[in-house]
Amino acid sequence: MIQSLRRQAKIYGAIAAMVPKEYSAYSIWVWMQFIVQILSMMIFVYFWRAVYADTRTLGGLDLQQTINYILLAQILMPIVETRLIFQFGFMVRNGGVAVELLRPLDFQGRFFIENLAGLGVFAIEKLPLLLVAVVFFGLQLPTDPLVWIVFLISLTLGASILFLFDWIFASLAFYSTETWGLSVVRIGVATFFSGALVPLTMMPTWLQDVAAALPFAQTIFVPVSFLSGITPIANALQVWLVQLAWLAGRLVLSGWVFRRGVREVTVQGG
């Protein structure tokens, strides 16, 4: 039992260790995203300052809260841009999926670990951006370490929920080869309803209802609200429970969808 657990840990550890290497192989893209994100932070800051020129609060938030929220949401936004459906689509097209399924390793578990390791690399990679936001754009971060812990747990839960959603979504690649169009639609919907562009509290009720019915807010709006001081950490337990409920629901659903979808795979040679 212990032996097998250790073996498992070793395998997953090796998979997780691959992720930073993959990232560093594409350093020019990392730089590009760094600059592009600074540009969009700049635009957002000036835009929101102009918005607040004639008003003190909007959706219950004042300018500083909104700036905090928007800057953090902007930094985290790339999380909602998934690659999973491309990976699935690619594997189906080149036949790699057959090999992957034969490996003596849980297919979903492998991708989940990769995803979590990716989140870790992502968090470290975004630290310079956080610094830029604090120094140049007036981002005010909480000093209480407890807030950070609450945020990180909530973010991990949120990223896991999104991963499972994408698992379900990517299983569509087993049915349709039109993965690009699907993913563009998915990114558009996710970007808006995750609250990456505008805090969900500012939206009219009907849009807030739609956002609440979708999982994307769990990944950006919910964790960022802790860090920007919108949600007090006294609510942490309650928020986590909601996130865990989302997670459990997605877990069951994703397993079911995948088992059905994978039967439909027609591997196109390879």
Partner 1 sequence: MKRYAALYWYFLLQRFKILMEYRVNFLIGASSTVILQIAGLLTIWVIMSQVPNLNGWNLNEILLVYGLLTLSKSITHMFADNLWTIGQDYIRSGDFDRFLVRPIDPLFHLLADRFCHDGIGNFLIGAGLVAVSTAALGIAWTPLNLLYVVIAVASGGAIFIALNLITATSAFWIVQSIPVTQIIFNTHEFAKYPLTIYPRAIGLLMTWLIPYGFASFYPASYILGRDVGALAWMGPIVAVVLLVVGYRVWLFGLRHYASTGS
Per CB under 8 A, residues contacting partner 1 are 28-29, 31-32, 35-36, 39-40, 42-43, 46-47, 49-51, 53-55, 58-59, 178, 180-182, 184-185, 187-189, 191-192, 197-198, 202-204, 207
To the nearest whole angstrom, how small is the minimum distance from the Cβ of residue 61 to partner 1? 11
29 vs 175, which CB is nearer to partner 1? 29
How far apart, in whole angstroms, are the C-alpha atoms of residue 248 and residue 240?
12
Q: How far is the CB of 63 from partner 1 (least distance, A)?
A: 12
Locate all alpha helices (DSSP H) within the chain, ordered by sequence: 2-24, 27-51, 63-76, 84-94, 96-102, 107-125, 127-137, 145-170, 179-193, 205-213, 221-227, 236-263
Q: CB of residue 18 vs partner 1: minimum separation in angstroms? A: 22
Report, in Å, the least distance between residue 248 CB and partner 1.
29
CA angle 231, 237, 238 (to 5 degrees): 70
Q: How far is the CB of 203 from partner 1 (least distance, A)?
A: 5
Identity of the residue, 157 or 215, whose beta carbon is nearer to partner 1 in the bound complex = 215
Q: Which is nearer to partner 1, 16 or 203 (CB)?
A: 203
Give the contacts of 58 (CB within 8 A, at least 6 positions apart).
51, 52, 66, 202
Tell me if 67 sits within 8 A of 139, measured CB to CB: yes
Sign of CA dihedral 185, 189, 194, 198: positive
Q: Which of residues 11 and 203 has its CB atom nearest to partner 1 in the complex?
A: 203
What is the smallest separation between the CB atom of 194 and partner 1, expressed in angstroms?
10
- Calculate ∠ Cα 243-248-250, nearest 5°: 95
C-beta of residue 150 within 8 angstroms of C-beta of residue 48:
no
| Rg (the chain; Cα; Å) | 20
Residue 43 vs 99, nearer CB to partner 1: 43
Under a CB-based contact definition with an 8 Å cutoff, are residues 209 and 123 in contact? Answer: no
Q: Which is nearer to partner 1, 215 or 243 (CB)?
A: 215
The residue among 15 and 182 lying less far from partner 1, judged by its C-beta, is 182
CB nearer to partner 1: pick between 58 and 130: 58
Q: Which tokens hold the place of 266?
A: 């027609």
- State the Cα–Cα distance between residues 165 and 40, nearest whole angstrom: 27
Least distance (Å) between residue 193 CB and partner 1? 9
Which pairs with CB-CB distance under 8 Å and at least 24 residues apart come from 24-27? Answer: none
CB of residue 188 vs partner 1: minimum separation in angstroms?
4
